[in-house]
Amino acid sequence: MNAARLAVAAPWVVLLLLSTRPEAVSAYARPSGALVLVTGAALTTAAYRAMLRIGRLPDEQRVLV
């Protein structure tokens, strides 16, 4: 679970660090930059949900009913 959170957070932390540069801010201020951010957010959400589903432990079968 922690690995999934780290994998999801890492690119956004890099983007946050890039936002301290005026060149990067101006690049993402354009419509194409906004599209990149929205697409990245959607893919991040889908990947996080997939990682949680893949990493889920299987339910144990009940021995005594």
Domain boundaries, given as residue ranges, for the chain: 2-55
Residue 26 predicted with pLDDT over 80: yes
The 10 Å Cβ neighbour count of residue 64 is 3
For helices 2-18 and 31-55, give the axis angle rounded to 10 degrees: 170
Q: 7 Cβ partners below 8 Å, 6+ apart?
A: 47, 48, 51
Residue 9 predicted with pLDDT over 80: yes
Rounded Cα gap, residues 16 and 26, in angstroms: 14
Look up the pTM and report it: 0.74
The pLDDT value recorded for residue 36 is 94
Instruction: Please calculate the CA angle 43-56-59 and round it to the nearest 5 degrees.
Output: 150
Task: Tell me the pLDDT band of 11, cut-offs 50, 70 and 90.
Answer: very high
Residue 16 predicted with pLDDT over 90: yes
